């Protein structure tokens, strides 16, 4: 598979120029770009600049407001609900997490539900904002309905990621960032661009039969919950996804389940929407609300070291701490650049030509 490598600075300047061309303020364009580039730097290629063309198409259809009036519509000392005014989730979610952190700083914890938003990038970006403040971060979002619940062939839920981030001392933070489906949709998009099949257990066709061709998803098939089928625990993935959907959307007043607005612009949201836009749920908890931060970090370092020392099945494959591969990717890509496959580069250059911008 052919690919080109670009520096962080090059992709950052290009992406920011696209968001500004969409009508975003310089501040919002810079923030949205930072969220996308964080995904690319951390090796989560499915949620980086490869998604940029999707945001542009949604903006062209009038489903993204480039100049949102993001506001708090309900609030207590430790909780709030935010209306994102159909803005970029890449901008709305950081606003909500900043509010959660502010509440946590004053009251020990902060919890913010969001409605009327859009795709918010990688959940890890938002949880790590809390870690920077010696807090535990929590980030959830519902997403385009592509996942069938256990025993169904109907798309009812999104990949609905869940992320916890925990600060440590001498070690980097532990970041548990995962989809509640067997695989994130972005991984199928990458497989399709590469002309590859996906592993068994990721998807099913429109009739509920096991499938390997990622194109089956576009032909009426569905992603499977974490666990893939009932015998392998898909009811647990279904339960986790349902929890994310309820906290992100039912609680906030966003659209939930099969009504969650699809990220792809060629599909319109279902009629009779029960809420507004996509929903998120962001949380921050002060560690020193439970025990001294230094003690916690020391125990976290001990926890990490002990798990790293766990006896491996294969001496060449040691236990990987959650967040470790992404950190290694970030270190490498800051030095050696970010690889983009040819199909993504072509998509980005088409957008540049359409918007009158310089191509990559």
In angstroms and rounded to an integer, the radius of gyration of the C-alpha atoms of the chain is 20
DSSP E strands in the chain: the ranges are 3-6, 71-75, 79-83, 109-117, 135-141, 162-166, 174-178, 203-204, 210-211, 222-223, 278-286, 338-341
- Residue 81: beta bridge partners? 74, 113
Residue 195: the pLDDT is 84
* 178 conformational bin, left if phi > 0, alpha if psi -120 to 50, beta if neither: beta
CA distance 30 to 134: 25
Which DSSP symbol is given to 356?
T
Residue 1: the pLDDT is 64
Three-class secondary structure of residue 179 per DSSP: coil
Token look-up 């909780």 returns 79
- Residue 110: beta bridge partners? 284
- Are the C-beta atoms of 37 and 330 separated by less than 8 Å? no
- Are the C-beta atoms of 182 and 228 separated by less than 8 Å? yes
Three-class secondary structure of residue 213 per DSSP: coil
**Closest C-alpha among 320, 340, 323, 335 to residue 42:** 323
* Structure tokens, 129: 């904002």
**Closest C-alpha among 172, 107, 177 to residue 137:** 177
- Residue 147: beta bridge partners? 157, 223
- Count of other CB atoms within 10 angstroms of residue 311: 7
269: Cβ contacts below 8 Å, ≥ 6 apart: 255, 259, 261, 262
Question: pLDDT tens digits, the chain, 360 residues: what are they?
Answer: 689 999 999 999 999 999 999 999 999 999 999 999 999 999 999 899 999 999 999 999 999 999 999 999 999 999 999 999 999 999 999 999 999 999 999 999 999 999 999 999 999 999 999 999 999 999 999 999 999 999 999 999 999 999 999 999 999 999 999 999 998 777 887 788 788 999 999 999 999 999 999 889 888 999 999 999 999 999 999 999 999 999 999 999 999 999 999 998 888 999 999 999 999 999 999 999 999 999 999 999 999 999 999 999 999 999 999 999 999 999 999 999 999 999 899 999 999 999 999 999
Report how far apart, in Å, the C-alpha atoms of 92 and of each of 119, 158, 202, 220, 252 are: 10, 19, 30, 31, 14
- Are the C-beta atoms of 108 and 285 separated by less than 8 Å? yes
Environment class of residue 64 by beta-carbon count within 10 Å: exposed (0-12), middle (13-18) or buried (19+)?
buried
* Structure tokens, 304: 């990490």
Residue-wise pLDDT for 85-110, tens only, equals: 999 999 999 999 999 999 999 999 99
Please, how many CA atoms are within 13 Å of residue 37, restricted to the half-sphere of its CB?
21
């Amino acid at each position: 598979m052919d690919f080109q490598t670009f520096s962080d600075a090059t992709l950052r300047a290009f992406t920011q120029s696209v968001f500004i061309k969409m009508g975003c303020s310089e501040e919002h364009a810079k923030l949205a770009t930072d969220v996308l580039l964080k995904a690319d730097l951390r090796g989560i290629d499915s949620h980086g600049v490869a998604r940029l063309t999707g945001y542009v198409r949604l903006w062209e259809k009038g489903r993204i407001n480039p100049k949102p009036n993001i506001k708090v519509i309900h609030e207590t000392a430790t909780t709030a609900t935010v209306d994102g005014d159909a803005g970029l989730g890449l901008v709305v979610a950081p606003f909500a997490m900043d509010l959660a952190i502010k509440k946590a700083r004053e009251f020990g914890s902060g919890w913010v539900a969001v409605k009327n938003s859009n795709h918010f990038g990688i959940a890890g970006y938002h949880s790590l904002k809390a870690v920077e403040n010696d807090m535990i971060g929590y980030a959830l979002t519902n997403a385009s309905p592509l996942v069938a619940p256990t025993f169904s062939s109907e798309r009812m839920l999104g990949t609905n990621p869940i992320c916890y981030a925990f600060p440590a001392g001498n070690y980097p933070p532990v970041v548990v960032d995962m989809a509640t489906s067997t695989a994130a949709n972005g991984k199928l998009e990458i497989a399709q661009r590469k002309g590859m099949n996906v592993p068994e257990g990721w998807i099913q066709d429109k009739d509920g039969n096991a499938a390997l061709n990622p194109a089956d998803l576009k032909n009426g098939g569905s992603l499977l919950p974490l666990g893939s089928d009932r015998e392998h625990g898909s009811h647990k993935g279904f339960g986790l996804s349902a929890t994310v959907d309820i906290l992100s959307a039912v609680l906030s007043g966003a659209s939930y389940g099969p009504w969650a607005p699809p990220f792809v612009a060629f599909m319109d949201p279902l009629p009779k929407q029960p809420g507004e836009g996509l929903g998120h749920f962001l949380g921050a908890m002060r560690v020193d609300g439970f025990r001294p931060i230094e003690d916690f970090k020391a125990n976290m370092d001990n926890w990490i070291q002990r798990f790293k020392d766990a006896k491996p099945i294969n001496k060449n494959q040691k236990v990987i701490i959650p967040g470790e591969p992404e950190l290694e990717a970030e270190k490498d890509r800051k030095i050696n650049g970010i690889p983009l496959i040819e199909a993504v580069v072509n998509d980005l250059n088409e957008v540049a030509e359409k918007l009158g911008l310089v191509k990559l």
